[in-house]
Chain A
Amino acid sequence: MHTDWIWGLCGGLMIGLAGSVYLLWNGRIMGASGILGGLIDGQGRDTANERLAFLGGTVAIPAVLALFTPGVSTHLTGNVAVVVLAGLLVGIGTRIANGCTSGHGVCGISRLSLRGIVATVFYILSGGLVMAVLRHLLEIV
């Protein structure tokens, strides 16, 4: 458990490298919700192939890594209502805010974008508050 931060740092560097490749080669900002959302609402129709290639890599490489990792799991809650409601909120919220942890968090903060910083502050505050209520008051997650 005490090595978790090293894996976090190494994985984080790879995520930053991924964003760097997408910016410097493709000229685009790496935001997971934007890349997927643009395919879904049609705003990204002109760049659909590039989006699909990115998402293909995002799914395929962890799939390969998972083959060599016994017992890998997301430990997602078994409460189906929570899964569905959470998914809906994440989908709606990221598209209204025009970004999530990768776009606003990683790509926004690293260029000192005010929008990226404000979004990150609000989703972390909201997440921390909801976590406190759901886990310590209602005890459902």
Chain B
Amino acid sequence: MRRLLFAFLSGGLFGAGLFLSGMTDTTKVQGWLDVFGDWDPTLAFVMGGAIIPMAIAWRIAAGRRTSLLGSPLPGRSKAHVDAPLVVGSVIFGAGWAMAGLCPGPAIASLSYGGWRGLLFLVAMTGGMVAAPPLKAWLAAA
């Protein structure tokens, strides 16, 4: 039960942060990617602001054997930089620029994003269903 409470709390903070920072506004995200136009620096402040507490949290986690609720802490990923990482990120970046939405803000804006926001979420979910076979094919190639 406490795990669910903290998961909800974390999700709520995440949503509030995305909302207040303006990251659910696609014009701000597209403005940040538009280096040849009227460049909007907001996203850099959001990223920088998010990385500071997170870096402290990783330092605290490094000194602990388990999480505060007793579960194992995530270790270093065994995966290296590989083709799926690079190809997937390039595909994601293209979609991110087209609509100005990444997964977090797409979810956080569900209540006020209208039917087109919902359509984006449905398409994104469809992409997530299609991804595992594509990834297997890419890993074998």
Interface on A for B, CB 8 Å cutoff?
4-5, 7-30, 32-33, 36-37, 40-41, 49-51, 53-63, 65-66, 72-78, 80, 82-98, 100-102, 104-107, 109-111, 113-115, 118-120, 122-132, 134-136, 141
Tell me what chain A mostly uses at the interface: helix, strand, loop, or mixed. helix
Q: Name the B residues within 8 Å of A12 (CB-CB).
A: 17, 21, 45-51
The answer, yes or no, to whether B129 is at the interface (CB within 8 Å) is yes
Partner among B28, B84, B125 whose Cβ is within 8 Å of the Cβ of A4: B28
List chain B residues, Cβ under 8 A from A25: 2-3, 6, 10, 67-69
Please tell me which one of the listed residues B10, B45, B81 contacts residue A57 in the complex, with CB atoms under 8 A apart.
B10
Bound: A92/B55 CA distance, A = 28
Most buried by B among A58, A66, A83, A86: A58
Contact A62 B19 (CB under 8 A): yes
Interface centre among A18, A20, A40 (most CB of B within 10 A): A18
Using A16-B52, A32-B102, A118-B86 as known contacts, say yes or no to A97 and B43 having CB atoms under 8 A apart. Answer: no
